[in-house]
Structure 1
Amino acid sequence: MQEESWTEVIQPRTRLLDLGLADVWRYRDLVMLFVRRDFVSTYKQTVLGPIWFFIQPLLTTITYYIIFGRVANLSTDALPPLVFYISGVTIWNYFAQTLTATSTVFRDNAAMFGKVYFPRLTMPLSIVISNLVRFAIQFGLFLLIWLYYVVQTDAIHPNWLIALTPALIAIMGLMSLGLGMIFSALTTKYRDLAMLLTFGVQLLMYATPVIYPLSSITNPKYKLIILANPMSSIVETFRYAFLGSGTFSWAALAYSAVITLAVLLAGIIIFNRVQKSFTDTV
C-alpha cells in the first residue's frame, strides 16, 4: 500500500527554546497579511485614517509642553521644549504600543488559533512589525521638527551616535516582544493582568526620562531607580544622539541589552509552554 505524502506535519514542540523560526519564515506572507490587517482594522471607518499617525504624537507633545513645560516648569536641559518632548514621545510610543498590543495576542485571537494551524509566533511578530511601520512614520515627523531646529537654532548638536538608532529600535522591539509574550501567556488565565499592564505602562513612562532629562534627578537613590529601568538608557541615548544633550553610557546601554535578552528568553520559554494548551483556558 502506497504511503500518503503529507505537506505539513504538526507535532508538539518538546524543547522550550524551539521557536520554529523556519516555520515562521515559510509563513512570512501570513505575517505581512497580519500586518496589513492591523492597519485596516485600526483605521477602517475613520475620517482621518493614517493621519492619526501624526496627530497622536503632536497632540501628546503639545500636552506635555503645556503641562510639564509651562505649568510644572520641568527642565529640558536647555533644549527647545517641542523637540525635547517629541523625541521622548516618538521613542516611547513604539515600545508602549507594541507591548500593549502583544500582551493580549492570545486572548484577542483565540477563535482563529482554535480553528486553523499556523506558527503562533507569527502573530506577535506581525504586531512588532506593524508598530515599526507606525514608528517609522512618527520618526519622520520627529525628523522634520528636528531639522527645523537644527537649521534655525544653535541648541541642537547631533553626533555620530545617531548610527546607533537601529540598535536602539531593535532593543525596544525585542524587549516589548519578550514582555508581550510573557503577559500574553499570563492573560490567558488572568484577564485582569491586561488592564493592570495598561496602567503599569503609563506609570513606567514616569519612571523613564521621557518628559524630563536624567540630569534633573539629583537624588542618588531616585536616580538609581530610574537607571534600573532598561528603557531609560534607550531614551537617553536616542535624545543624546539627535539633540546632543543628556547622558550616554556604554555600560547602561549594555545593561539594557542584557536585560532585553533575558526578558526575551523568558518570553520564549513561557510562550512555548502556554501555546500548547492555551485554547483550553482562554
Structure 2
Amino acid sequence: MENYTLEIKPKSKLLDLNLKETWKYRDLLFLFVRRDFVAIYKQTVLGPLWFFIQPILTSLMQLVIFNNIAKIPVDGMPPLVFYLSGNVMWQYFSSCLTLTSNTFRGNAGIFGKVYFPRVITPLSMVISQLLKFGVQLSLFLAVWGYFMIIGGTEVNLIPSWHIVLLPVLIIIMAGLGLGAGMLISALTTKYRDFTFLLTFAVQLMMYATPVIYPLSFVEGKMKQIIMLNPMTGIVETFRYGFTGAGTFSWELLGYSIVFMAVLMFLGTVVFNKVEKTFMDTV
C-alpha cells in the first residue's frame, strides 16, 4: 500500500481557513502578489507613476469642485492635505474590495486546473494593494510635510499621538475589503448582478464617507447615517492623527473594528462553502 504525503479533500468546517496549509503555499502567495502589483500598469507608458498621478488628479479635481465652487469646509486644513488624506485611505479599501470580489470568476481557469488554498488569491490582492497604498502614503506624507513647514493655514499641522493607530487602521481596511470581497465573490458565482451593482455601490459609498467633506460638516440624521459607514471612523482617525484636526471617537473606531470582524466572519463562512462547488456554476 502506497503512503501519500498529501491528501486533497474539501474542508469540513465553514470557518476553517487552514492557515497552516496557506503558510506552506507562501511562495505562491508572494508570486501572486508580484503578479498583481506588476500587471496593473505593465503595458502603460507612465507605469508606476500612476500610483502618484491618480490621487493627485482626483484631489485637485475635488479641491476645485467641492472647496472652490461648492465652498465645503475642510476643518481648517490645507484643502490638498484634506482631500489627499481621504483619497489615499479610500482608494486602498475600494481597490481591495473591487479586486477580491472577482476572485472566483476572474480565476476560474486556474482554479479548475491546479489545487492550492483558494484564500491565497484574495490575500494576494490585499497585500499587493498594500504596496500601492505605501507608495501613495509616501506622497501624502510629502504633501503633508510641505504644508507643515510653510504653515499659513487655520490649523497647525501637528500630529497627535493617534498617528500610532495607522497600522490598526490599515488592518481594519484590509479586513473590510477582504471580508466584503470574499462575500461578494461567492455571491457572484450564481448572481452576476452583483458584479454590476458593486461598481455603482462603491461610487455611492464614497459619498457616504467623509472623503470630500469633514464629519463636522454633516448634522442631524444624515450624520447618523454616515457614522454607520465603517470607513467613516477610519478616515477621520487618519486625518486626526496627522493634523490634530477633525473628529476622533473611540466609539466610531470600535464600531469599525466590530463591523470588520462580523464581515470577515460572514465572508469566511460563505467563501469556504462556495469554493467547494463554484466550478459548477461559474
Which TM-score band applies after superposition, normalised by the shorter structure?
over 0.9
Structure 2 letter corresponding to 1:246: G
Structure 2 letter corresponding to 1:48: L
- In structure 2, the residue matched to 1:232 is 232
Structure 2 letter corresponding to 1:136: G
CA distance in 2, matches of 1:6, 1:43: 43
CA distance in 2, matches of 1:5, 1:98: 41
Q: Does 1:101 align with 2:102?
A: no
Consecutive unaligned residues in structure 2, runs of 5 or more: none
Contact 2:159 2:241 in 1 (8 A): yes
CA distance in 2, matches of 1:141, 1:85: 13
CA distance in 2, matches of 1:40, 1:175: 24
Between the two proteins, the alignment pairs up a number of residues equal to: 279
- In structure 2, the residue matched to 1:49 is 47
1:38-68 Cα deviation digits (max 9, x unpaired): 1232112211111110011111111111111
1:203-262 Cα deviation digits (max 9, x unpaired): 0010010110000012x2111001111110000000111111111111111111011000
How far off its partner does 1:179 sit? 0.2
Q: Does 1:202 align with 2:200?
A: no
CA distance in 1, matches of 2:129, 2:16: 25
Structure 1 letter corresponding to 2:127: I
Structure 2 letter corresponding to 1:171: I
- In structure 1, the residue matched to 2:253 is 253
How far off its partner does 1:118 sit? 0.4
1:4-25 Cα deviation digits (max 9, x unpaired): 2323211111111101111110
1:174-203 Cα deviation digits (max 9, x unpaired): 011000000000011111211211110110
1:50-93 Cα deviation digits (max 9, x unpaired): 11100111111111111111111111011110011000001110
Match of 2:140 among 139, 142, 150: 142
Match of 1:36 among 34, 37, 40: 34
CA distance in 1, matches of 2:96, 2:36: 12
What percent of counterpart residues are identical? 56
Structure 1: 4+ residue segments shifted above 3 A: none
1:155-190 Cα deviation digits (max 9, x unpaired): 212111000000000000001100000000001111
- In structure 2, the residue matched to 1:170 is 171
Structure 1 letter corresponding to 2:182: M
Consecutive unaligned residues in structure 1, runs of 5 or more: none
Contact 2:37 2:129 in 1 (8 A): no
SS, match of residue 43 in structure 1: coil
Match of 2:25 among 24, 27, 31: 27
TM-score by length of structure 1 reads 0.97
Instruction: Using the TM superposition, name which of 153-162 and 130-139 deviates more.
Output: 153-162
- In structure 2, the residue matched to 1:157 is 158
Structure 2 letter corresponding to 1:86: L
CA distance in 2, matches of 1:252, 1:24: 33
Structure 1 letter corresponding to 2:181: G
CA distance in 2, matches of 1:197, 1:35: 23
